[in-house]
Structure 1
Amino acid sequence: MKLTRRLTLAAFTSVLALGTAAPAFSADLIAIITPAFDNPFFKAEAVGAEAKAKELGYDTLVMSHDDDANKQSEVIDTAIGRGAKAIILDNAGADATVAAIKKAKDAGIPAFLIDREINVTGIAVAQIVSNNYQGAQLGAQEFVKLMGEKGNYAELVGREADTNAGIRSQGYHDVIDDYPDLKLVAKQSANWSQTEAYAKMETILQANPNIKGVISGNDTMAMGAIAALQAAGRKDVIVVGFDGSNDVRDSIKAGGIKATVMQPAYAQAQIAVQQADAYIKNKTVPKDEKQLMDCVLINADNADKLETFALKN
């Protein structure tokens, strides 16, 4: 049975009560759960999902698990207790999420996952994720071009428990490793954090002053890296990110970060809500549980068209 389908993107603390305060119990409630909202990618997911849910007539309960598996279990319990009709979830780790999703399913609440996969099928109704491998290859190809196919570089990787971190790193290396004159001199996890990336970049730069480039697993870490490099007066170092945030768009336009790869975060979240609506109303399930949405390379040529993880016409 085919489990993966590709969707084409056409131009298109505890419980954090946001947006709308849902009633204590709502007959038409959709719970939206993501990692920390201080990351613009996760904020875009929450905003996109909430907007679509409201458009379709649902009350919403928007919560964050802050990448903490225990907190994720707590907020899913909250969604169950509030009688949610569906859960839209960007999860806190593939392995740690299965039991929580199964608990929701056993309570009659379908889960629609976005951004991050889990390692089991048949528990969530849908897993709608970016084609991280395809996107990483796009970013790596641009990085190789910017580097002139040679030079020392560093890689900043994401949270080890997040499957996306490994997939993106593999996609990068399946391209870059074909160029023997590109030398990886440092590879460190900054856990998707701008603050950690800044500190790691300072250390990497001290140990490798002849570094020419940095490829990052997300835009938040790329922003930390470019800040550390600029503070050290190293505006010559090439930095490439992954996500397609407005912050990196602005950095690209200002001549800082050179490129990123846009994930359709807002669209992913809205599609998940649309599929949840179809399931709630008609028990309609998507043809395939795992659905991939292609990423788009963003550089100086098209950065002007980028807005909140989507390309404007």
Structure 2
Amino acid sequence: MNTYLLKPCLAAVLLSLSMASFAADKGLIAIITPSHDNPFFKAEADAATAKATQLGYTTLVASHDDDVSKQNQLIETAIARKAKAIVLDNAGADATIGPLKKAKAAGIPAFLIDREINATGVAVAQIVSNNYQGAQLGAEKFVKLMNGKGNYVELLGQESDTNAHVRSQGYHDVIDDYTGLKMVAQQTANWSQTEAFSRMESMLQAHPDITGVISGNDTMALGAEAALKAAGRKDIIVVGFDGSDYVRDSILAKGNIKATVLQPGWREAEMAVEQADAYLKTGKAQKEEKQLMDCVLIDETNAKNLKNFGVQP
């Protein structure tokens, strides 16, 4: 065989592969979430990255750690790198509006997940869990577990996060109807497991007679559970919110945590990328901007089916 004939053929093959690779790369999608130390936010980033890669995009994945300044810098970086779209779980309902307006002016559409902002028309989509509906599910289970009576405490999420307020309101719109249940303390733990451990220790010292803890998220619920275990208090019921695998394991092991509320974070992140892809192809939004996804109660009856913030068949 003439080896000289192989060179043009090889060049053609390499050119073909190069063109295929170029065609598959649709550009950059920036994926920005809070800290990946929280399994919920890590799952969001993982799901969005996997879907973007599947659809032919490259990704820039970063965490703003709930720091508005850091978030603004990351959005600036996305603009500078001419990202095709931004998928964002934001660091503040008000503070995020200005940076996203800047991205929009630069021709970069934003697709929000998990947390809303206090404006419409700035992002193409805001795909969030129905936090109020989910909180009511959690509260109803909490009331049942508490037999409608007893003293309890509440752990709140970050003050700047709309979800923290919506979930608390959903809890109280159910629990407050039961006169036998009395909230004796309410403290913010900023979605943090470490802070929740500390807050739980102090609340337990001040109110040793409590029999229940309702938490704004699973990370704080796990911090509370760790403090209760350290104090030898197996009698205190904890209900969380998010649907993490760690809380699933506690429910199955019959720990302090008896239930949680699953918000479908994995699917929300996938939907954001899918809608970004459709928007970039057509120039039109697939759905209305505000999109609510219903939550699911997770307890001893279905915890075994929970994995990666989704219920498996």
TM-score, scaled relative to structure 2: 0.91
Answer yes or no: is the 8 Å Cα contact 1:243–1:309 preserved in 2. Answer: yes
Greater than 3 Å deviation, 4+ residue runs: none
Alignment of 1:208-227 (within 5 A): 208-227=207-226
CA distance in 2, matches of 1:218, 1:183: 20
Tell me which amino acid in the other structure corresponds to 1:88: V
CA distance in 2, matches of 1:30, 1:285: 17
CA distance in 1, matches of 2:194, 2:222: 9
Determine the structure 2 residue equivalent to 1:282: 282
Determine the structure 1 residue equivalent to 2:122: 123
Alignment of 1:190-205 (within 5 A): 190-205=189-204
Q: Deviations over 1:61-98 (max 9, x none)?
A: 10110000000000001111111000000000101100
Aligned length: 289
CA distance in 1, matches of 2:192, 2:298: 21
Alignment of 1:64-143 (within 5 A): 64-143=63-142
- What SS does structure 2 have at the residue aligned with 1:84? coil
Q: Which has the larger radius of gyration?
A: 2
CA distance in 1, matches of 2:101, 2:156: 30
Determine the structure 2 residue equivalent to 1:292: 292
Determine the structure 1 residue equivalent to 2:9: none
Could you tell me how far 1:282 is from its partner in structure 2?
A: 1.0
Question: RCO (CA 8 Å, sep 6+): is it higher in 1 or 2?
Answer: 1
Q: Deviations over 1:263-312 (max 9, x none)?
A: 10000000000000001111120331000000000001100000010000
Tell me which amino acid in the other structure corresponds to 1:275: Q
Identity of aligned residues (%): 70
Could you tell me how far 1:27 is from its partner in structure 2?
A: 5.7
- The worse-fitting range, judged by mean Cα deviation, of 277-286 and 177-186 is 277-286
Determine the structure 2 residue equivalent to 1:13: none
CA distance in 2, matches of 1:219, 1:27: 36
Instruction: Tell me the C-alpha RMSD between the 2 structures.
Output: 1.0
Determine the structure 2 residue equivalent to 1:63: 62
Alignment of 1:1-313 (within 5 A): 28-256=27-255, 257-313=257-313
TM-score, scaled relative to structure 1: 0.91
Q: Deviations over 1:110-158 (max 9, x none)?
A: 0000000001000100000000000000000000000000000000000
Answer yes or no: is the 8 Å Cα contact 1:27–1:83 preserved in 2. Answer: no
Answer yes or no: is the 8 Å Cα contact 2:138–2:171 preserved in 1. Answer: yes
Could you tell me how far 1:191 is from its partner in structure 2?
A: 0.3
Tell me which amino acid in the other structure corresponds to 2:297: L
Answer yes or no: is the 8 Å Cα contact 2:278–2:286 preserved in 1. Answer: no
Answer yes or no: is the 8 Å Cα contact 2:26–2:56 preserved in 1. Answer: no
CA distance in 2, matches of 1:93, 1:73: 11
Unaligned runs of at least 5 residues, structure 2 = 1-24
Answer yes or no: is the 8 Å Cα contact 2:228–2:234 preserved in 1. Answer: yes
Tell me which amino acid in the other structure corresponds to 1:240: V
CA distance in 2, matches of 1:308, 1:284: 31
